[in-house]
């Protein structure tokens, strides 16, 4: 096993979760999602842990039109439980998790850019992960899936781009775990992009963030329904995953945001904050694989761009792209001092880096809620890295009336 041993005794916290039948390799598919093989027995992927993955499928979605020169590509990378669907493809499509940023007339303008977003390695939304079939056994990998890192995710994305014939990126952008990937891209493939936007993410994960993840993993592993990771075909560890998600949701917010939203209001003999955490836990159980959650949390813990290099500075000196780093003022998961320190270290390494901060009471979730603040930051940075000025004024598919709805909904997609 690649995970820490669970707590010696099970806690008393119980959540009532509706039963869910685990549905095999991925949890849902969309009509615009494509799947491509990026590794096979002839070209397996060597992981940071030293193990090989003999077969990897990558799920991805694209927006806009690729230019004849193939020089207008933006790679959007998602956070922990996100997927390849940052925005709707048309008015009849499901709303995405970064709708106000991606689309016609948005900062990442699909009238100008060809946008690619893929589900990460280890996920459960179409890309190979623990729920995928192990070709050596004919059964789901489960806990036999090798441990992965953020860098491994980036290597899979690079293979995807190679398959698509993409040799250059205008921008790599993401928030939270997506921000870690964006930074890893800039370090691992420094000659491939003009810019990288690292939002609400550090250069390496600190002990407090690791501590949250340790408790989340143990909650899942203490659930008897986890069955050492071999629960496929049964309900799975619904209670444990729901508790882990509840903990995560606490770290994504702040005292001010919780006080504003919930106060001490009660409903159904519970405080509203309890109802909220129950709902968020149950919602994740319906759409996410518990083993994938475990592996991705561990990948967050292992995040350190200096891994494999002589030093942190040696890793950052590899970066050639311009880098925008954005923090959220009330973030308790990856506090803004971490982004400020990253910019300081990048500049010391000779990188053209800049810092912006989202003033927000919403905590880590600010990068999924405070779009009126985030949009101009991203727009300005994109304009600054383009070789020629671009007019980002075309009509957008985003419906302004959806903004309040998005603010409530998108926080469930981290």
Phi and psi torsions of 204, nearest 5°? -155, 150
User: Which of 26, 194, 331, 370 is labelled catalytic?
Assistant: 331
- Catalytic-labelled residue, pool 84, 118, 132, 176: 176
* 328 vs 164: CA distance, rounded Å: 34
Nearest Cα neighbor of 147 from 71, 63, 53 is 53
> What is the C-alpha to C-alpha distance for residues 110 and 398, in angstroms, rounded to an integer?
12
Instruction: Determine the Cα–Cα distance for residues 362 and 162; give it in Å rounded to an integer.
Output: 38
Q: Which of 89, 289, 364, 370 is catalytic?
A: 364
What is the end-to-end Cα distance of the chain in Å, rounded?
26
| Residue 331 annotated in active site | yes
Alpha-carbon distance 239 to 401, whole Å? 35
Which residue is listed with tokens 């030093």?
A: 311
Q: Is residue 176 annotated as part of the catalytic site, yes or no?
A: yes
Q: Is 245 annotated as a binding residue?
A: yes
User: Any residues with CB less than 8 A from the CB of 142 and at least 6 apart, and which?
Assistant: 130, 131, 228, 229, 230, 231, 232, 291
Asked whether residue 365 is marked as a ligand-binding residue, the answer is yes
CA distance 165 to 162: 5
> Is 139 one of the catalytic residues?
no
Residues designated as active site: 176, 331, 364
Q: Which residues are annotated as part of the binding site for substrate? A: 245, 365
Q: Which residues are annotated as part of the binding site? A: 245, 365
């Amino acid at each position: 096993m690649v995970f820490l041993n669970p707590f010696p005794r099970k806690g008393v916290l119980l959540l009532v979760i509706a039963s869910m039948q685990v549905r095999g390799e991925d949890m849902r598919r969309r009509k615009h999602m494509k799947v491509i093989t990026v590794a096979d027995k002839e070209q397996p992927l060597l992981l940071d842990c030293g193990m090989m993955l003999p077969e990897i499928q990558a799920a991805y979605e694209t927006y806009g039109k690729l230019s004849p020169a193939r020089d207008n590509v933006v790679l959007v990378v998602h956070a922990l439980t996100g997927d390849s669907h940052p925005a709707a493809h048309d008015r009849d499509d499901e709303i995405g998790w970064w709708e106000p940023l991606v689309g016609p007339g948005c900062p990442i303008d699909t009238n100008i850019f060809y946008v690619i977003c893929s589900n990460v390695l280890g996920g459960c939304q179409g890309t190979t992960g623990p729920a995928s079939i192990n070709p050596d056994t004919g059964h789901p990998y489960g806990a036999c899936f090798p441990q992965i890192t953020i860098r491994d995710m980036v290597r899979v994305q690079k293979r995807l781009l190679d398959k698509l014939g993409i040799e250059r990126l205008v921008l790599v952008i993401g928030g939270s775990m997506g921000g870690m990937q964006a930074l890893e891209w800039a370090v691992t493939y420094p000659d491939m992009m003009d810019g990288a936007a690292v939002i609400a993410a550090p250069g390496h994960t600190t002990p407090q963030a690791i501590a949250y993840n340790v408790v989340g993993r143990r909650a899942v592993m203490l659930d008897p329904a986890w069955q050492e990771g071999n629960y496929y075909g049964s309900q799975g560890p619904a209670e444990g995953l729901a508790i882990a998600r509840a903990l995560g949701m606490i770290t994504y917010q702040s005292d001010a945001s919780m006080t504003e939203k919930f106060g001490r209001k009660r409903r159904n003999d519970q405080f509203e904050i309890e109802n909220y955490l129950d709902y968020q836990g149950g919602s994740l159980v319906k759409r996410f694989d518990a083993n994938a959650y475990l592996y991705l949390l561990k990948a967050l813990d292992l995040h350190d761009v200096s891994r494999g290099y002589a030093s942190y500075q040696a890793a950052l000196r590899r970066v050639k792209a311009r880098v925008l780093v954005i923090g959220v003022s009330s973030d308790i998961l990856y506090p803004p001092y971490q982004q400020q320190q990253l910019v300081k270290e990048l500049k010391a390494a000779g990188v053209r880096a800049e810092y912006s901060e989202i003033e927000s009471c919403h905590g880590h979730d600010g990068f999924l809620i405070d779009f009126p603040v985030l949009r101009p930051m991203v727009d300005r940075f994109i304009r600054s890295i383009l070789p020629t000025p671009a007019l980002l004024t075309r009509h957008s598919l985003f419906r302004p009336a959806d903004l309040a709805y998005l603010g409530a909904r998108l926080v469930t997609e981290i």
